[in-house]
Amino acid sequence: MGSAALDALARLDTDDLIDFGSEQFQTDPWPVYRELRRSDPVHWIAANRMFFVLRYEDVAHALTDDRLATDFPVRASRRIFGSTMLDADGAGHRALRQGFGTLFSAKAVGGYGAQLIAEAVEATLAPLADCTSVDFAQRVAARLPYEVTTRLLGVPPEDGPWLRDHVRAVARGLDFPGGPLAEAQAAESALCDYLQDAARRTTRTAGSAVPSLLDLLAQRAGAPGDPRFGGTAVLFLLAGTETSEAALCTMMLTLLSQPGPDEVVDWSDRDAVAAGIREALRWEPPTQSILRYATDDLTIRGVHIPRRSAVLLSLASANRDEEVFEEPDRWWPGRPARRSLTFGAGPHTCLGIHLAYAEFEALAAALGRRFTDIALDGPPPPLRGHGFRRPVRLDLRWRQRRRQGGPRS
């Protein structure tokens, strides 16, 4: 956006700035975030009847403030999933979350993850062996998270397309603005039935290196048949697939579109690629905001927040806060270390953060081994969405990297 447009934006009444469904805001929310951080960092959105919090310090503090709760009866996630750890707070949330470290800690992922993710990446990339161009969004980003998550759940990976159709319907109900709630509830019910049946019939090989997510869910959220089991199982399926799919798209788009015209991503430099992935997720987080509800009156940056108010915390704006990140709108993989809020903070920090990074880095390494001259095939496509932000298509071109003796890995 040019300086004239920015000047016009600054002259607008702040009540006119936020329209989550508009094409302008969907594709380029950054000038709006920048202006609100400057002029109105705790902004009342009258149309949505909620407070919008945009500065890093305020968002980070709010994510750990027990007066801002996730538990609220009319919240879309509660109406879709029922009672799960997503909408629980305090001791109840800790009790539900406890025990999943055996599957999602850095140590656990480092143990079982290498083989599981390698198998998932191979299954995703093998069908592309003879392709020189591909819609990365559909052929890679939409498939890999299901190859990983179905293996964790112990269900057939070939069920991935059916699962994705239903997960996408649930995601539409959770996005902002949300899609049809009845459609999301029907899809969630079908997924519940599928996962409950899978939990009853699935058995793991004795001594399997991969922990059973369905077994852990039965221990932590009730046996199959308990409503908490089904809702929690669908929640884990959604978190492991839809968010990862969006992140893979934004990560690849950013890695290929942001370096200078004479720069090429060195896919063999694992440290550089890992730094690029982390910067991509700061620069374009797939989930823009997180919703909370005030359980008591409180004040944020001098603004009174009445009890029971909805408070939307902007992770995306916080990740580009000028007070925390030097030149925040600049793509800079080598920037001084600062923790982004892409995966949240506090008690509800994303459980799958270590698995997600392992998945992204393994895919990047495999792409580098298989292909060369990886590039966008056309101009960078726009991103859309607020809860699950991604391009609709992401066309890439590449050349196969042939090796002497033995198959590609």
Mean pLDDT of 158-167: 95
Query: What is the tens place of the pLDDT at every residue in 123-159?
Result: 999 999 999 999 999 999 999 999 999 999 989 999 9
Query: What is the tens place of the pLDDT at every residue in 356-383?
Result: 999 999 999 999 999 999 999 999 999 9
Query: What is the tens place of the pLDDT at every residue in 184-225?
Result: 999 999 999 999 888 887 655 545 666 678 888 887 777 777
CA Rg, the chain, in Å?
21
Residue with tokens 């909805």: 310
Q: Is the peptide bond before 41 cis (omega within 30 degrees of 0)?
A: no
Query: What is the tens place of the pLDDT at every residue in 60-114?
Result: 999 999 999 887 767 788 788 877 777 777 777 777 777 777 788 898 899 888 8
Which pLDDT belongs to residue 5? Answer: 43
> Residue 141 contacts by C-beta under 8 Å, 6 or more apart in sequence?
245, 246, 248, 249, 252, 390, 394
> Residue 117 contacts by C-beta under 8 Å, 6 or more apart in sequence?
148, 358, 359, 362
Mean pLDDT of 264-292: 91
Would you state the structure tokens that stand for residue 327, as one six-digit string? 């030149």
Between the CA of residue 271 and those of 141, 265, 276, what are the distances in Å? 22, 12, 9
Q: Is 23 exposed, middle or buried (0-12, 13-18, 19+ CB in 10 A)?
A: exposed
pLDDT band at 314 (very low <50, low <70, confident <90, very high): very high
Alpha helix (H) residue ranges in 126-225: 136, 144-153, 160-174, 181-201, 213-221
Between the CA of residue 25 and those of 169, 318, 375, what are the distances in Å? 22, 17, 27
Q: What is the pTM of this model?
A: 0.88
**If you average pLDDT over every residue of the chain, what do you get?**
87
Would you state the structure tokens that stand for residue 248, as one six-digit string? 């893979």
